[in-house]
Structure 1
Amino acid sequence: MSRRLAVTGGAALAALLSFPVLAQQGHDGPPPDHDGPPPMSAEDQALSEALRARMGDTSTQMQSVPIPESAAECGDTPGYARMLCLIDLLKADISDDDILQNLQHDYSLAEAENWSNLPAGAFPKRPGVLLGELNIKQRGLVKAIMLEATGHAPDEGFDEMLQTLNADDYINTVSTDYKAGYSSYNTKFAFLGTPGETGTWELYYGGHHMAFANTYTDGKLAGATPSFRGVEPFPYFEMNGRVNEPLTQERDAFATLLSSLSDDQKAEATLAGTYRDILAGPQADDAIPESYEGLPVSELDDDQRALLLTAIETYVDDISAPEAAAYMEKYTSELPETYLGFSGTPQVSAENDYVRIHGPSLWIEFSLQSNKSTDKVGNHPHSVWRDRTDDYGGQSE
């Protein structure tokens, strides 16, 4: 078993929330004797209790918080320089040493690997300051920083993140389970490494069903993955003054692609076994198989390849447009060596439906599983985009 296949933090609550997971019965799944995560350690229990004590104000939603006037000091030219300026403004505005310490960490791969799909209290090792610990002005600066790093299309990038946050607020209205801190303001925000023109650092923004992790080296994006998205309820819900439907565009893109396949192509694309969740999720960095399964993309016609690229774009467009374009150029060039696979129904609407795109660099998974937090009949997705060549910015320590 990979050392990263077992969940290492917040395990007791993690078990309730996310297992049975990793349930592929074929040869790319976990070993048959995989028995889930170990019990929560005394250290993690103490971390979880301390974290719950920090869970703060939820009076102003991120979608409505204003960007402060001081952001004008950073100009209006989008890009890395403006993001660094906004980060300096945020740090200068924080006088609480504890908050600054939670915001700014030294960089290490071990710290970067502490992301999760679980709620705040269920995975206390997730780095960062809780959004609810920041005042309104500071939240506005966080918003401005994230807008520099993310895509701006509807239902993509920062808009998708806002809808994912709204889902936690929705869950908080219908669920009291786990005492795990369901709230949009229990999302974490952190810098791993010192942001600057030189050196390596990661911009981390994550919480329940979300992990955004852009790694920068010497002023350039070195990696935009791991990038995890999930949502419950699905496919849509009303919360915080809007209809939210994050991840429906991903699901619809996959369903359109799979429905375009001929019967022979569907047979070749069908994966062995049943997938109850994604493989390469949190604390499973070594789970991507070396071998390829499914339908070679080289066997798709031009229209089908266009549909495949549309599906890939629903992930890559979560980052800023220039950086997304560079990733799409790479993945397009690798299409002859890329494979498409699925398990379950091609409509991608039933429990245990699963889709995978696997290339020399690209790894995307989309999985539907039964609801866990809303106590309502239905399914919800987990999904991940990983780049096998520059996950965590290619860092090894």
Structure 2
Amino acid sequence: MKLANKFLSTLTDEQKSTVQYEFTEENAAHWTNLPANSQNRNGVALGDLSNESVKAALKLAKASLSKQGYETLTEIIKADEFLTTDTGRTEWGSGLYYIAILGTPSENGEWMLQISGHHLAENIVFDGKEEVSATPQFTGSEPQTFELDGTTYSPIETRRDGMYSILESLTTNQLNEAKISETFRDVVVGADKDGQFTEESEGILYTDLTKNQQKLVQKAIKAWVKDADSKTANKLLKAYLSKEALSKTYIGWSGSTDYNEVGSYVRIDGPRLWLEIASQEGVAYQDDVSNDAHFHTVWRDKLMDYAGEFTE
């Protein structure tokens, strides 16, 4: 809360009016993973802020996420900087990420921090000082691995490897049981899809897996959930990994078990938890097979997206 107000104090009056919104369903749901020139966003772009304001914004983001979560966020932003540097195209870049605050950061009452840009959406709700919700979260990357300023990054490697290690562990019979009948070219419950979960779960039940396979599922779940601050993550994991919840959790896949294949898709679907990863055709590197892996991922909570404020 203090860091949110500290950030706001660095802004001009005009910027404040652009950054602050009422915490309504319409405003909360207004985010996208598309490049900045494809759809408008809430808030102000980092590239339009002073150095002081950018530092304050990133300090707020860092405090709202775990170390893992902040690394995810900053590496996705770096991936966009790599894209514009490597291709020369201006629809990408580290300055094209937006920050908005919905509601009023105060001791009492809910408010939301929203950070959105290409391949990134963080929607973090607080009740006063306490973080109460970290979803919906969108993360993605193209290419899957890149080098910038001498350092190699792979923003969603842990998520990717977590999901596909489950598939690699399945027997032929288990793979057949886990296969989802429909094929997908993107995540199902991405931007503008709030609450649109499948009516029936598909895949193989967690309880039909071996102990080692179950450990892989839990590891994959943590690859997303541990992006949240530790208190929030522990609370969510207690719910997602309870014996009752896991007995109703399904693991499904579609398209291909090879994540480099376009149309490859993996899902974990529980009573509350919803995780997806989808491999898409390249956009920046359509003709370069070596860079073709273009991933979209989503983490949703069926009960607590936006702190459950708009859940029916």
TM-score computed with the length of structure 1 as normaliser:
0.74
Pick the structure with more strand per residue: 2
Q: Secondary structure at the match of 1:252?
A: helix
After superposition, what is the alpha-carbon deviation per residue over 1:115-148, rounded to whole angstroms, capped at 9, x for unaligned? 1011112111x10111112211221111211111
What does residue 283 of structure 1 align with?
Answer: 192
Map residues 240-251 of structure 1 onto 2, 5 A cutoff.
240-251=149-160
Distance 2:6 2:101 in 1: 14
Is the CA contact 2:277–2:295 (under 8 Å) kept in the aligned structure 1? yes
Q: Give, as a single letter, the amino acid of the residue that structure 2 aligns with 1:115.
A: W
Map residues 75-154 of structure 1 onto 2, 5 A cutoff.
84-94=1-11, 96-124=12-40, 126-152=41-67
Is the CA contact 2:259–2:293 (under 8 Å) kept in the aligned structure 1? no
Distance 1:351 1:244 in 2: 22
Q: Secondary structure at the match of 1:122?
A: coil
Map residues 185-200 of structure 1 onto 2, 5 A cutoff.
185-200=95-110
Q: Secondary structure at the match of 1:121?
A: coil
Is the CA contact 1:171–1:182 (under 8 Å) kept in the aligned structure 2? yes
Query: Is 1:336 aligned to 2:247, yes or no?
Result: yes
Distance 1:382 1:350 in 2: 13
After superposition, what is the alpha-carbon deviation per residue over 1:9-47, rounded to whole angstroms, capped at 9, x for unaligned? xxxxxxxxxxxxxxxxxxxxxxxxxxxxxxxxxxxxxxx
Is the CA contact 1:222–1:394 (under 8 Å) kept in the aligned structure 2? no
Query: Is 1:383 aligned to 2:294, yes or no?
Result: no
Q: Give, as a single letter, the amino acid of the residue that structure 2 aligns with 1:160.
A: T
Q: Give, as a single letter, the amino acid of the residue that structure 1 aligns with 2:191.
A: P
CA RMSD of superposed structures (Å): 1.6
What does residue 65 of structure 1 align with?
Answer: none
Q: Which runs of 5+ in 2 are unaligned?
A: none
- Residue from 246, 264, 276 that aligns with 1:365: 276
Q: Give, as a single letter, the amino acid of the residue that structure 1 aligns with 2:2.
A: C
Q: Secondary structure at the match of 1:185?
A: coil
Q: Give, as a single letter, the amino acid of the residue that structure 1 aligns with 2:270.
A: G
- Residue from 252, 257, 260 that aligns with 2:166: 257
Q: Give, as a single letter, the amino acid of the residue that structure 1 aligns with 2:139.
A: R
Is the CA contact 2:114–2:124 (under 8 Å) kept in the aligned structure 1? yes
Is the CA contact 2:111–2:128 (under 8 Å) kept in the aligned structure 1? no
Distance 1:163 1:241 in 2: 14
Q: Secondary structure at the match of 2:213?
A: helix
Q: C-alpha displacement at 1:257, in angstroms?
A: 1.2
- Residue from 217, 220, 224 that aligns with 1:315: 224
After superposition, what is the alpha-carbon deviation per residue over 1:243-272, rounded to whole angstroms, capped at 9, x for unaligned? 110111111111211111122111100111
Is the CA contact 1:175–1:374 (under 8 Å) kept in the aligned structure 2? no
What does residue 393 of structure 1 align with?
Answer: 307
What does residue 73 of structure 1 align with?
Answer: none
What does residue 356 of structure 1 align with?
Answer: 267
After superposition, what is the alpha-carbon deviation per residue over 1:280-314, rounded to whole angstroms, capped at 9, x for unaligned? 01011132112111101111122111110100011
Q: Secondary structure at the match of 1:120?
A: coil
What does residue 73 of structure 2 align with?
Answer: 161
Q: C-alpha displacement at 1:218, in angstroms?
A: 4.2
Distance 1:271 1:90 in 2: 45
Larger Rg: 1
- Residue from 115, 119, 122 that aligns with 1:209: 119
Give % identity.
31
Q: Which runs of 5+ in 1 are unaligned?
A: 1-83
Distance 2:153 2:269 in 1: 29
Distance 1:223 1:200 in 2: 10
Aligned length: 306
Q: Could you say if the C-alpha distance between residues 186 and 196 of structure 1 is closer, same or farther in structure 2, counting changes exceeding 3 Å?
A: same
Q: C-alpha displacement at 1:176, in angstroms?
A: 5.5
Distance 2:301 2:98 in 1: 23
TM-score computed with the length of structure 2 as normaliser:
0.94
Distance 1:216 1:119 in 2: 27
Q: Secondary structure at the match of 1:88?
A: helix
Is the CA contact 1:274–1:352 (under 8 Å) kept in the aligned structure 2? yes
Is the CA contact 1:166–1:240 (under 8 Å) kept in the aligned structure 2? no
Q: Secondary structure at the match of 2:37?
A: helix
